[in-house]
Amino acid sequence: MPAWVINLIILWLSQFCAAIGFSLSLPFAPYYIQTLGVTDPGMVKIWTTVVTAGAPLTMALVSPLWGWLSDRHGRKPMVLRATWGAGVILFAAAFAPNVYVFVFLRTMQGMFSGVASAVITLVACNTPAQRQGLALGSLGSAQFSGHMFGMFIGGFMAEQFGYANTFLISGIILAATGLLVWLFVKEKFTPPPPPSKAQQRMPWREKFAALGPGTLLLGLILWMSVTRRMDGGLLAIYIQELYGGLEGVAIWSGIINASGSLGALLSGILASLLIDRLQPRRMMTLAAAGAAASMLFLGLATSHQMLIPARFLLMLFLASFDPTLQAWLSRVTLPSKKGVVFGLAQTAKSTGMTIGPCLGGIIAWAWSTRLVFWTAAAMFLLLIPLVGMISERLNRRMHAAE
C-alpha cells in the first residue's frame, strides 16, 4: 500500500476523532456561558459573538507563520502543534471561573490550534495530484461524520454530566488524537534551500505574486467564510428561542447539529467523487445556490423541529465548499509554495470566521436572529457571480504564465 494511502487512513481517523473532540463541547458554548453567570439575553448574544470570533481572529494573525514554518520544518509538526494545543486549551476551559477567562482561553486556542488546516496541508503535499480531490473530499467526510457523532452525544452528555465536563473530555480526546498522528503518520520532508540574497531583497508585492495564481482564490475564500459563518454561535441561541428555555435544549441542539453533520458527511462523500471530474466553478455555483435556499428555509422556521431538515440541507451544500476550494488551490500552486499559500488561505478563512459572527451578532442584537439567515442567503447568491469573475481571471493568468 502506498505511503500516501496509509497516511490518509491515519489522518482520516485522526480528523474523525478531533472532530468528535471539538463538537462535544464547542457547539454548546452559548449555554456554558449562561452557567458562568451571564443571563441577560442581549449579553448572551454579545458574549457568544466574542467567543465565536475570538479564536478565528488570532488564528488569522498567526496562520501565515505556521504556514511558513511548515514549508521549512515539515507539515507533521504543525499537525501535532495544532492538535495538542487545542487539547490543552479545551481541557483548561472546563475550569474557567467566569466568562472572561473562557473568552481568553478561546482566543488562545486560535493561536495554537488549526487542526483541519494543518492536516489538509500535509495531505495536499503528500498526495499525487490526480488523487487530491479524493483525498481532500475524504477528509471532509471524516470531519463531518465526527462532528455528527460528537454533537449528537454531546447534547446528552452536557445534560447528564454538565457543560464543564464535556470540555474535559474534549481535551482528552484531542490529546489522544495527537498521539495517534505522532506514532503512525510518516512524512518524508526535504527542507527547501535557504532564500538567496536577491529573494530576500525582493519587495513584498513581488514575493506575493511569486506564490502563483492561486492567490486570486483568497478573496473567494474570505467571502465564502464570512457568509457561511454568519450564524456563528447564534444557531444555538436561535434553537433556544424556538425551544423556549435552557433546560433540555442541549439535547435538541445536539440533534439539530448532528442532522447538519449527516448532510455534511454525505456532501463529503459526493465531493470526493466529483471534485476530480467537475470544474470547481460549477461545483461552487451549485453549492452557493443550494446554501442560499437552505438559509432562507432556516430563517422561516417556526419550530425547533423544522431546523432538523433545514440544517441537513444547508450542510449538504456548505460542506462541499472547503474541499472544492482546497483542491482548486492545490492544483494551481507549486509544491514548494503550498505551506505558505495554504497558511494564507487559513488566514483568509479565519478572517471571514471573525467578521461573519461579528456581523451576524450585530444583526441579531440590533434586529433579530432570523434576519441573520436571510442576510446570509443574499450573500450566498452574490457569491455566484464572484466565483465566475475570479475563475475567468484565474484562467487568464494561468494561460499567460504558460
Q: What is the pLDDT of residues 312-369, one digit of tens each?
A: 988 888 877 877 887 777 777 776 666 677 777 877 887 888 788 888 888 888 888 8
Residue 193 located in a structural domain: no
Range of the domain at 27: 3-185+212-401
Amino acid of residue 156: F
Can you list the positions of beta strands (E) in 69-143?
Answer: none
Residue 191 located in a structural domain: no
Q: For 388, which DSSP code?
A: H
Residue 74 located in a structural domain: yes
Overall average pLDDT of the 114-133 stretch: 72
Residue 195 located in a structural domain: no
How many degrees, rounded to 5, is the angle at CA 324 between CA 363 and CA 63? Answer: 65
Query: 348 near 225, Cβ under 8 Å?
Result: yes
Q: What is the pLDDT of residue 61?
A: 76
Rounded to the nearest 10 degrees, how much is the dihedral formed by the CA atoms of 365, 348, 385, 139? -100
Residue closest to 241 by CA, chosen among 150, 374, 364, 159: 364
Residue 197 located in a structural domain: no
Give the count of domains, the chain: 1
Residue closest to 14 by CA, chosen among 160, 184, 153, 156: 184
* Angstrom distance (rounded) from CA 63 to CA 17: 23
Rounded to the nearest 10 degrees, how much is the dihedral formed by the CA atoms of 60, 62, 65, 66? -90
Q: What is the pLDDT of residue 192?
A: 63
Residue 194 located in a structural domain: no
Which of the listed ranges 27-31, 120-124, 302-306, 320-324 does the model predict with the highest average pLDDT?
302-306
**Rounded to two decimals, what is the model's pTM?**
0.65
The CATH number of residue 361's host domain is 1.20.1250.20
Q: What is the pLDDT of residue 175?
A: 92
Chain mean pLDDT for the chain: 80
Residue 200 located in a structural domain: no
Residue 131 located in a structural domain: yes
* Angstrom distance (rounded) from CA 368 to CA 70: 43
Cell 464547542 -> residue: 26
Q: What is the pLDDT of residue 272?
A: 67
